[in-house]
Amino acid sequence: MTSIQIEAFSILDHKILSGILADEDPTPAAQALAAATAAKLQRKFERSFLIIGCGAWQALWDELAAVGFDSAHPRQYAPNHKALAQMLRPEILNRFNSAVLVLPPLRSPDYNALLREAVATLPSEFTPIIMELAERTIEQAVAEKRGFRWIQELIAGAIREIRLNDRNRSTPAQATASESFGASASIT
Extents of the domains making up the chain: 3-48, 58-93, 108-184
The pLDDT tens digits for 69-107 are 555 555 556 677 777 777 777 777 777 777 777 777 889
State the sign of the Cα–Cα–Cα–Cα dihedral 28, 30, 33, 35: negative
Which is higher by pLDDT, 178 or 45? 45
Cα 48 from Cα 40, distance rounded (Å): 12
pLDDT category at 181 given cuts 50, 70, 90 is low
How crowded is residue 162: how many other Cβ atoms within 10 Å of its Cβ? 16
Nearest CA among 118, 121, 158 for reference residue 136: 158
What pLDDT is attached to residue 62? 64
pLDDT category at 188 given cuts 50, 70, 90 is very low
Task: Summarize the confidence of residues 43-52 as an average pLDDT.
Answer: 83
Tell me, what amino acid is at 138? I
What angle separates helix 108-121 from helix 127-143, to the nearest 10 degrees?
Answer: 150
